[in-house]
Structure 1
Amino acid sequence: MNPPRPSRWADALLRLLCTPHLLEEVQGDLYERFQADYLAFGQKEASRRYSLNVIGFIRLRFGFERAGWSPALRTQINSNHQTPYQAMFNNYFKIALRNLWRNRTTSIVSILGLSVGLASGLVIFLLVGYLFSFNRYHTKSERIYWVVTDILNDKPQPTDVTPRPVGQVLRDEYPFVESAVRLNNVFGALVGVPDGKGGMSRKFEESRNICFTEPEYFKVFDSEWAAGDQLAALSAPNTAVLSREYAKKYFGTDRAIGKTLRLDNKANLTVTGIIENPPSNTQLRYDVLISYSTLPGLWNDPGMMQAWGEPITMCWVAMKEGADVARLDQTLTEITRTHYSAKDAGTYKMRTIPLHEMFHMPGYGPAPRPILYALIVVGVFLVIAACVNFINLSTAQAVRRSKEVGVRKTVGSSRAQLIGQFMLETAILCGAAFVMALLLAQLNLPMLNGALWMLRADISVLDLLNTHALWWFGSLVMLVILLAGLYPSAVLARFNPVAALKGKPGRRDGRFSVRKSLVVVQFFITQLFIIGVIVMSAQVKHLKTADPGFDREAILMVGLPGGNAAGTDAWTNQLSTVPGVQAVALGGEPPMSQMDTDEPFTFDHRTEKEKFQVRVRIGDDHYVPVFGLKMLAGRNLESRDASRREALVNQAMLKQLGIGNPADVLNKDIRLWDRERTIVGVIRDFNLDPLSNSAQPAVVVNEPSAYAMTAIKLQTGTMNTTLPRIEKAWNTLFPENVYHSGFLEDKINDFYSTEQILLGFIRVFSAIAILIGCLGLYGLVTFMAESRSKEIGVRKVLGATENQVLWTFGRDFGRLLVTGFVPAAVLGWFLMSNWLQRYAYRIDVGWWIFALTIGITALITILTISIQSMRAARTNPVVSLRSE
């Protein structure tokens, strides 16, 4: 019987590529392994294993020869059922684990620094990815456009609305439009659940997540239906569609089809559909959608749907595939010319905004692209800083491992094999760091989501489980491994074996080495972050403490239901009897508000409207004293002005009119809202917008029908007892409405929430950059102490004191610190100056910012290097010079 033999093609390949003088020995070893596999697994499996062993030998034969692996070692490898490649990898892996365990303190510091930097970068990248994903989940997002109108006066006033019939015209008359939908947001609506007895069992005040819209809404935007007929749900008046969350909120169950809601105590709505909750990455988050055809009856205006007048409703258009948006823009111009007079057509200009860009456009979205790109740069800087720190710590171990490298090179290891060995160690460290980074990121994401509560953010590391994220995350992993491992591996692998065995692996002169350059990079990044934190902290503090031109302390703002004049009078009378209430004013908005529109007007009986518009503040005769507005000329509004013909104007309006003396405008007439009014006083400028804008022309008038808030000036020492009494009085007088209050100071601070969030991010990431920088400095001072130990010993033998030895360390680090400071100061000044330009009221980027930056960095550096430097300076020179 013939003995079993392996595949002939594998034998032929082995004879072709194996070195002749090794063929017999190698083939004999492989045959022995084949025979053993044959007895254990059979002919087929033994032939497969033999073929794999041949392929593995071919891949690594040159490496085995250079490494000097003996036939006995190869026989041992084969006896373990491993290919040569597997055996060499396992050998490298075991050596890597032993080295990492032997230097576990440094390994832990390396993993910690790298994981913190990677976690920070990962959090930033997840945040930016989340913000860039807004409004993009809709199937037609790339061809959905928002139609808005600019009102053209002395300067264009952008709005977010269009004339009401525009959506219907686009939908019915233009074939390139697939669908169009009109939408009206509702602010401060009262939604109640009738109890069947004429009252309300539950009532809710909704702010921004309720709207009137058409059935076409579901043709333009993606919504997942849970119950109801999508096509018919909003086709009839007085019908509503709820999200699953809000159905449970109102009725305690999502089985709410056919149930009734009451809107603003005016209209009953029948629930005709339930949709799944909208995702968080949308600006169009509507949990209550009311049929658009409800509006004429609700507002008692049957002809409103066909009225071409001022822009009043939002309009969204879904283009057919392949249609050019330029055609839509041209059509909007044609519609304006067709339906308006020549004069009005020159006043209104409709334009389009892509849905997927809306979230990033100034004035329409909270996340402009420059801010997102800046966050990406911050994330990249943190990852680079972490890699630099890792490189410094790795190369600091070069002296300790120089003898190991020398022995390995002496016995035949090639430079490529050494790089492979050290790259494997880097991969292990980076793998551990990435696992820890994922854990740290997930632990910190709840805080990030909490900071972004207004967006209902739900960011998670699970967001990485998609094709795009896996691609960039995998690229990041490979890039970090290469950045963090290639240079240290190359440094260790190029040691001269003779010098390495003597403990002198390379030159250590006064050159500005790569290692020092990396420390300069760390100083640059750290100081750039510190400059950003100082400037942003000072600017936010300035915004909060700068004088806005009115009083804002101890003023409680309470919402006021409209259409109830008798109840309003009783409310103010009741408040005047509450202890701790100093004064009460009624009005539309506080002096500073984001709910603003510019209004046209004519001055002094002129026939043409002024080229500029004014902001209107509605308030009674107590509005000026309660908010502490300063009169410059004339008098305040009078309570007996029953005809509501009086008006107050500010300095900015006089400046626009070209009037220098405030007294010259008194008793002049202005026509506002189609009513003649007389200017009876001039008030000092106050900020109508958050302090990112300068003072605007403003008018204060008294319009009781537009009262929407109560401003209550309180005594600061009695608030704990006063506030409950105010709420009790409200609930007594307005039992059908929801009590809602807040201090003006808090509302103003909310205007700067973006700045606060951004400042919080920068502070956290700056602290992380400083931590990583400290670890990098620790690595460099460790390296310096190791590599200059004999130099320090010689200096001490020759009489150098500890302070003189410490000066050698401080001098080197001082040079690196200043070298990193110069570009950081230049770039920091440029970036922060440009960021401050968006504020009319801003701080100056003065010299003290840079002096404080370099002082903080110097202090951090001294604290970081002091322990290791002192240890090196106090080492007995006998220890460091013993080998000499």
Structure 2
Amino acid sequence: MIRNYWKIAIRSLKRNKVYTLTNVFGLTLGITCTIFIFSLVKHHLNVDTFHTKKDRIYRIVTEDHLEQTVYSPGGPPPVGKAFRDDYTFAEKVARVFVRRERMISLPLSPDKQKFQVEEGIAFAEPDFFHILDFPLARGNKNTVLTEPKTALVTERIAKRFFGETDPIGKIIRLDNKLDFRIDGILQDLPENTDRRQEIYLSFSSLKDYNPWAGNDDNWLSYADEMQSFVLLKPGISPAKVNEAFRTFSNKYYEGDYVKEYQFRLQPLSDIHFNPDFDGKISKTNLWALSLIAIFLIITASVNFVNLATAQALNRAKEIGIRKTLGSFRNQLFWQFLIETALIVLIAMILALTLLYWTLPFVKSLFEVPITSNFFQDNHLLLFLPLFFLLITFLSGAYPGFILAGFQPVLALKGKISQRHAGGFSLRRGLVVTQFTISQLLIIGTLVVAYQMQFTRQTDMGFSKDAIVTLSLPTNEKSTLSTLHSEFSRLAGVEKVSFCTQAPASEGSSSFEIVYDTRTEKENYDVVFRGGDEQYLSTFGLELLTGRNLYPSDTVREYLINETLAKKLGVSNEGVIGKNALINDTKGTIVGVVKDFHNQSFHTGIDPLCITTQSNWYNRIAVKINPSDLRHTLEALAPVWKEAFPDHVYEYDFLDEQIARFYEQDYRILLLIQTFAGIAIIIGCLGLYGLVSFMTTQKTKEVGVRKVLGASIRNILWLYGKEFARLLLIAFLIAAPVAWWIMNSWLENFVYRINISAGIFIMAVAITSVVATLTVGYRSLKAALMNPVKSLRTE
């Protein structure tokens, strides 16, 4: 019986090629996007789930309770050690300190090779590898990193550095400062981990590389890079530990610091998703992507139902004959369901093929590590058959029920009408559903696009164009002086400045401030920007009152921004000449600069100071004439290499650094744009099916109207008004829902656009143009039909 069903299904689909191809195309698009979203969501949900003790692994995070609470995934350098010494809650505790974009050289190689490692390095205590499961390919897990100046590298890094040579015992040099001996090889990191460092160094050597991070008495400052991981003993609840943390600060802090510095445990399962602690993606975004996948598959299924029920009248006689010859209703139902299953199966095979061939492009475009080994993915292998059954049922059950219910006498006499084929109202409802989803995605696309345009075009309060920054390997005074002079002489170089960071930068340092004669520190921290006397002119910062900093190698004077002056409760003029103690260093406030955005538009403008402090300078900013950008960059290289022959010459454009603030937002925009386009295409297929059904049903009516004098414009309006009404209904449903969703998304930005009426008008206009183009050809063809031929059709 089933074999017979398949044979009939194949014949039927071959006979109705346009119907088959239209449905296969729509379902292929919907299924491709759904599988992609499933793989994307699955990847994020599986991040760091491979650790065998994941339910007992936590990270100690810091909450700095100032005027506004500041959250950090790290903490003061000694917090992990103190927790290990003071409490018995943990089976293992390990600190890890990460530095990104480091230079590794091979001092014993013939050509002293140098490598820039973007993900950087990590100083880790030995128990780190007893807490997290990063297995060793070679070496002893119980002894690695226990000795000073030892290192672990992954198999990939070992091959990059040493080729096929045995890396054990080889020497690597970090930033031309410290040498480390490789004592073990880690297996290559899995894709689903946020720990991307592939070089681990002994934590006992950290004090020689970074005295601040290696200082176990440094409780009054913290950094995101200094993190502590904890493996709790079985039966110990995190709530019990967090309760103990309430008194933890009493031991190591005094006065207001006791309330200010608070610590708690963050579960490993929360690290990837918590935006407060630098999570990679929020679960809200994953829910949004999942909802889009559901929307797309509903759109594709609705499209199938629309076309199938519109096609039903053409199969009325076939059904009548089958019933007359003894077919039962349930047999006909299963026959049509198998036809649907065959279409879905073809669409699913095409979708997997399409995704496989486009995967390299998709992975680079969206920067997602989705595997192309579909049949080695157990979750996908479970998902696909369930997904197949779901789509088959959603798409085929209702049309099969309608078709199997035709009465044989009416079918054979040609008396089956649209009322028997599900009714025209059903198809109206399906088209409204499709275009509601399409308009939701279009409005979402427009809002995200306008917000991204706002971030690119809005004045940040400083110049970001044609400025490159280079990381300084050293801040030795004579070397920097020579570098500054040589850069300044180059044609095309307009300004040169030494600094700690550009005006807008992530990972800023913040410090306490005590103002003038006040005895207590303020209840907020001040963002620190180290910069020489050329800092303002290089970045185009506007000085509102006072004067610029005088040249100095130490902190003598401060420039502050408007926000800090307001928080101090002093006018811009009144603050000039007053003293301020920032980071335990006293200086005189000599000027107030106009507020500029020191981070992304996601956050507000912080109180900020700028001062000279040459031992903090770690970058040089060069403003270049845009008309000769390429040649100037080439000219910088030999000067740099002469000053730092043992380091790699690499530069970074400031505008590209700022664009990275919004990487996740741009990916969201790209995803929504892609899915909105696909939803529109699928919706148009359903719309075309509906207009085809309408023209078939109204053939005689059109003929009568033309005989009675109706013009082509009148006939086109006969069809057009129907779709205009449907699109308007879809818009009225989509607009308030889209406004609520996108307004919630915009709340992630302190500085954002307003959702204006123009966005909704544009969404309606886009949908209307697409709908007009979709139905125009079929409607015009019906309007131009010879009325004599039309009247003979019934």
TM-score band, normalised by shorter chain: over 0.9
Q: Is the 8 A contact 2:469 2:652 kept in 1?
A: yes
> SS at the partner of 1:397?
helix
Equivalent in 268, 289, 302 of residue 388 of structure 1: 302
- Provide closer, same or farther for how the CA distance between residues 272 and 518 of structure 1 changes in structure 2, counting only shifts above 3 A: same
| Residue 196 of structure 1, CA deviation | 6.2
Correspondence for 2:665: 755
Distance 1:747 1:173 in 2: 42
Matches within 5 A, 1:214-229: 214-229=125-140
Question: Deviations for 1:523-573, whole angstroms, at most 9, x for unmatched residues?
Answer: 101111111111111110011000000111111212212242111111001
Query: Runs of 5+ in structure 2 lacking a partner?
Result: none
Q: Deviations over 1:260-286 (max 9, x none)?
A: 111222221000000111112211122
Question: 1:679-731 deviations in whole A, cap 9, x for unaligned?
Answer: 00011000000122222111000001111111111112122221111011101
**Cα drift, residue 498 of structure 1:** 2.1
> Corresponding residue for 1:859?
769
Whole-angstrom distance in 1 between the partners of 2:106 and 2:145: 20
Residue 154 of structure 2 is matched in structure 1 by: 243
**1:171, CA displacement in angstroms?**
3.8
Structure 1 residue corresponding to 2:756, chosen from 846, 851, 863: 846
Equivalent of residue 524 in structure 1, options 408, 420, 436: 436
Contact 2:77 2:214 in 1 (8 A): no
Alignment check: 8 A CA contact 1:495 1:506 kept = no
What secondary structure is seen at the aligned counterpart in 1 of 2:489? coil
Provide, for residues 377-412 of structure 1, a one-character-per-residue CA deviation record: whole Å limited to 9, x for no partner. 111101111111111111121111111011112222
The 10-residue stretch of structure 1 (801-810 or 269-278) with the greater mean CA deviation from structure 2: 801-810
Alignment of structure 1 residues 555-566 onto 2, 5 Å: 555-566=467-478
1:605 maps to a residue whose letter is T
Paired residue for 2:99? Answer: 186
Deviation of 1:761 (Å): 0.8
- Specify which of 607, 630, 638 is matched with residue 697 of structure 1: 607
Task: Specify whether residues 614 and 565 from structure 1 end up closer, same or farther in structure 2 by C-alpha distance, changes over 3 A only.
Answer: same
- The residue number in structure 2 matching 1:211 is 122
After TM superposition, the structure 1 = structure 2 runs for residues 575-594 of structure 1, keeping only pairs within 5 Å, are 575-594=487-506
Could you tell me which amino acid in structure 1 is paired with residue 27 of structure 2?
Answer: L
CA contact (8 A) 1:96 1:424 kept: yes
Q: 1:821, CA displacement in angstroms?
A: 0.8
C-alpha separation in 1, matches of 2:779 and 2:561 = 65
In the alignment, which residue of structure 2 is the partner of 1:339? 252
Once structures 1 and 2 are overlaid, which stretch shifts more, 782-791 or 666-675? 782-791
| Aligned residue in 2 for 1:29 | none
Distance, in Å, in 1 between the alignment partners of 2:560 and 2:6 is: 79
Match of 1:426 in 2: 340
- In structure 2, the residue matched to 1:665 is 575
CA distance in 2, matches of 1:877, 1:96: 36
* Deviation of 1:788 (Å): 2.4
Q: Deviations over 1:843-876 (max 9, x none)?
A: 1111111111111111111100111112222223
Q: Which residue number in structure 2 is paired with residue 18 of structure 1?
A: none
C-alpha distance in 1 between matches for 2:213 and 2:746: 50
Matched, 1:106 2:16: no
Secondary structure of 1:99's match? helix
Q: Is the CA contact (8 Å cut-off) linking 1:399 and 1:787 kept in structure 2?
A: no
Q: SS of the counterpart of 1:664?
A: coil
Partner of 2:726: 816
Partner of 1:413: 327
Question: 1:350 is matched with which residue?
Answer: 263
Contact 2:541 2:593 in 1 (8 A): yes
Distance in 2 separating the partners of 1:91 and 1:159:
66
Shift of 1:460: 2.5
2:630 aligned residue: 720
- CA distance in 1 between counterparts of 2:530 and 2:77 reads 27
Q: Which residue of 2 aligns with 1:35?
A: none
Which residue, out of 139, 142, 152, partners 1:231? 142
Q: Aligned residue for 1:177?
A: 90
SS of structure 2 residue aligned to 1:649: strand
Q: CA 1:552–1:141 in structure 2 vs 1: closer, same or farther (change >3 Å)? A: same
Structure 1 counterpart of 2:482, from 552, 570, 595: 570
1:158 to 55, 71, 80: 71
State whether structure 2 residue 508 is matched by structure 1 residue 626.
no
Q: Cα distance, 1:156 vs. partner?
A: 1.7
Deviation at 1:497, TM superposition (A): 1.8
Distance 1:172 1:95 in 2: 76
User: For residues 384 and 302 of structure 1, what CA distance do their matches in structure 2 show?
Assistant: 54
Q: Please say if residues 586 and 709 of structure 1, whose CA atoms lie closer than 8 Å, have aligned partners that are also in contact.
A: yes
Alignment of 1:243-322 (within 5 A): 243-253=154-164, 255-299=166-210, 304-305=215-216, 308-311=219-222, 313-322=226-235
Query: What is the SS of the residue equivalent to 1:552?
Result: coil
Aligned to 1:63: none
Q: Give me the whole-angstrom Cα distance separating, in 1, the residues matched to 2:3 and 2:100.
A: 66
Q: Paired residue for 1:136, among 43, 49, 52?
A: 49
Among 444, 454, 475, which residue is 1:542 paired with?
A: 454
Encode CA deviations 1:332-365: one digit per residue, 9 max, x unaligned: 3343223333543222100111111111101321
User: Does structure 2 retain, via aligned residues, the 8 Å contact 1:562–1:705?
Assistant: no
Partner of 1:787: 697
The one-character-per-residue Cα deviations of 1:63-119 (angstroms, maximum 9, x if unpaired) are xxxxxxxxxxxxxxxxxxxxxxxxx22222211111100111220111011111110
Q: Alpha carbons of 1:183 and 1:883: their partners in 2 closer, same or farther (altered >3 Å)?
A: closer
SS of corresponding position for 2:190: coil
Partner in structure 2 of residue 96 of structure 1: 9
Q: CA deviation at 1:578?
A: 0.7
* Runs of 5+ consecutive residues of structure 1 not aligned to the other structure: 1-87
For residues 308 and 829 of structure 1, do their structure 2 counterparts lie closer, same or farther at Cα, with a shift above 3 Å needed? Answer: closer
Residue 217 of structure 1 and its aligned partner are, at CA, apart by 1.1
CA contact (8 A) 1:244 1:254 kept: no
> Deviation at 1:287?
0.3
The separation in 2 between residues aligned to 1:208 and 1:137, in whole angstroms, is: 21
Structure 1 position 161, deviation (Å):
2.0
Q: Is contact 1:261-1:271 (8 Å) kept?
A: yes
Identity of aligned residues (%): 36
Distance 2:252 2:758 in 1: 60
Identify the residue that residue 27 of structure 1 maps to in structure 2: none
Provide the aligned length of Structure 1 versus Structure 2. 790
Residue 380 of structure 1 aligns to a residue in which SS? helix
- Alignment deviations for residues 413-451 of structure 1 (CA, whole Å, 9 cap, x no partner): 221111111011001001101111111222233223213
- The 2-side partners of 1:584 and 1:405 are apart by 83
Q: Secondary structure at the match of 2:314?
A: coil
Is the counterpart of residue 489 in structure 1 residue 400 in structure 2?
yes
The whole-number CA distance in structure 2 between the counterparts of 1:825 and 1:430 is: 32
| 1:575-598 Cα distance to aligned partner (Å, 9 max, x none) | 121111111111110000012132
CA distance change for structure 1 residues 376 and 408 in 2, over 3 Å: closer, same or farther? same
**Which secondary structure does the structure 2 equivalent of 1:591 belong to?**
coil
Give the aligned residue type for 1:179: K
Maintained 8 Å contact 2:553/2:612: no
Q: Which amino acid aligns with 2:587?
A: R
Say whether the 8 Å CA contact 1:123–1:445 is kept in structure 2.
no
2-side partners of 1:677 and 1:173: how far apart?
39
Q: Is the Cα contact below 8 Å between 2:436 and 2:734 reproduced in 1? A: yes
Is the Cα contact below 8 Å between 1:603 and 1:609 reproduced in 2?
yes
CA distance in 1, matches of 2:781, 2:635: 67
Which of 404, 411, 424 matches 2:318?
A: 404
Q: Is the 8 A contact 2:172 2:180 kept in 1?
A: yes
- Rg comparison, structure with higher value: 1
Deviation at residue 643 of structure 1 after TM alignment: 5.0
How much does 1:172 deviate?
5.1
| 8 A contact 2:553–2:614 mirrored in 1 | no
Indicate if the aligned counterparts of 2:531 and 2:610 stay in contact, CA closer than 8 A: yes
Question: Cα distance 1:286–1:648, how it changes in 2: closer, same or farther (>3 A)?
Answer: same
Query: How far did 1:461 drift?
Result: 4.8
Task: Give the secondary-structure state (helix, strand or coil) at the position aligned to 1:283.
Answer: coil
